[in-house]
Structure 1
């Protein structure tokens, strides 16, 4: 399977496999992401899952940087607590500069994976047995979860605009796009939603409306973009949600009375 890895990543991929194969704690190396689904391009990252025997998982995660350094010319690496995934090591190798995500998982963790990748190497068939016995489940947007939060988010951003915290408001609008608007748009267009990524290809007809929710750090422009976000959400909101009618009415009234 190593021949499926693009040439620019082959050296690091080979290095990861070699380090894993030399350590009896490790059971497999799996490639995920665009390489696994056959759609890599020159801008792709390399997403690797390094599987170990369950008793060693904590130890392996703690030693992740040492593993990464042994696999190739490591420039810098840090763990993924900021995305809620401490098992993830985000690494930069080079030159040439390439981005590699190394996720260290125990054998038992594979039962809760989000995608099926390509096994580049495995020590024995225990990993394949676990993969065959379980199914990947990509996280899906929850329309009710979005509806239950949306109007609070709108009020929050409006308050930041009122206070003059305009960069905070700009960030809040970005969060609303990523957490509410785009998930609502792509819910029936892909089985692998990833925030705003590839929205230009998935729903090109919605790009102008989304662009109207982008603001400069200017009070009037932030208010304009916030109202555009409300208009778009009402258009793409899931049909089967229990609408937070009272909250919606109150927040729309709040916006209508917002000082110019």
Structure 2
């Protein structure tokens, strides 16, 4: 597997593998991301799951940045609380820049997972295989009701920011809406895992340019039109799997009325 990677990635991955193999506290090293999903290229990150002996887990967690610094020329690193994953260490290595994610877990933590990892090394293949076999990887796709509960609140946020003249905030919300709602719903339409807007250009799943129609410049009329297009795109995609919590669509009409009133002032 590693032999197929670009030179920079292969060199780092092999170096990481050797370093972790030499540390008796490390039970296994697993790889995920593009290495298992496919589409790996020179722009890809390296995503590793470091399985730690539970007796040393707290110690390893306390020393994560120090350990990461022994693996290569570490420029910066921070932990992943912003994505709800405090076990994750996000690293940037140099001098030729490479993004590497290191998630530190124990065997018992290999429960809920979104992908089936590749095993780069393990000290106990039977224990690892048994643990992985207990649970099936499942991508966290959202339900129609999840989208409906959030869509109009987020769109309302964009409308009020537009009304106040906070165009950057409104544009930011539209970007967030594409990532959290429209992109995943386009993936759903294509019967693919809902991966935000990741690589969406390469899947060819937006032939009607629903996403590009929601792009705005720093101009009130442009932002207003983009919000309207975001509403249209959501209604278009919502029809694929109607949520049970539409009710009378009151939130939709209220948001549109507010947007219309705001553009007249």
Bin of the TM-score, shorter chain as denominator length:
over 0.9
Provide the alpha-carbon RMSD of the alignment.
1.8
In the TM superposition, residue 68 of structure 1 has moved relative to its aligned partner by 1.0
In the other structure, the counterpart of 1:216 is 217
Q: 1:32 aligns to what?
A: 32
Cα contact 2:5–2:41 (8 A) shared by 1: no
1:21 aligned partner: 21
- Please give the TM-score of this superposition, normalised by the length of structure 2: 0.91
Deviates more, 1:243-252 or 1:69-78: 243-252
Q: Which runs of 5+ in 1 are unaligned?
A: none
Change (3 A) 1:37 1:209: closer
Q: Are 1:252 and 2:256 counterparts?
A: yes
Structure 2 match to 1:155: 156
Shift of 1:5: 4.3
Quick one: structure 1 residues 258 and 37, their matched pair in 2 at CA, closer, same or farther if it must change by over 3 Å?
A: closer
Query: Residues 190, 19 of structure 1: CA spacing in aligned structure 2 closer, same or farther, 3 A cutoff?
Result: farther
Instruction: Calculate the TM-score normalised by the size of structure 1.
Output: 0.92
| Alignment partner, residue 136 of structure 1 | 137
1:169 is paired with a residue whose SS is: helix
Query: Is the partner of 2:210 in helix, strand or coil?
Result: helix
The 5 A counterparts of 1:1-260 are: 1-125=1-125, 126-206=127-207, 208-237=209-238, 238-242=240-244, 243-244=246-247, 245-260=249-264
Shift of 1:50: 0.6
From the superposition, tell whether residues 191 and 255 of structure 1 become closer, same or farther in structure 2 (CA, over 3 Å).
same
Distance 1:122 1:49 in 2: 12
Gaps (5+ residues) in structure 2? none
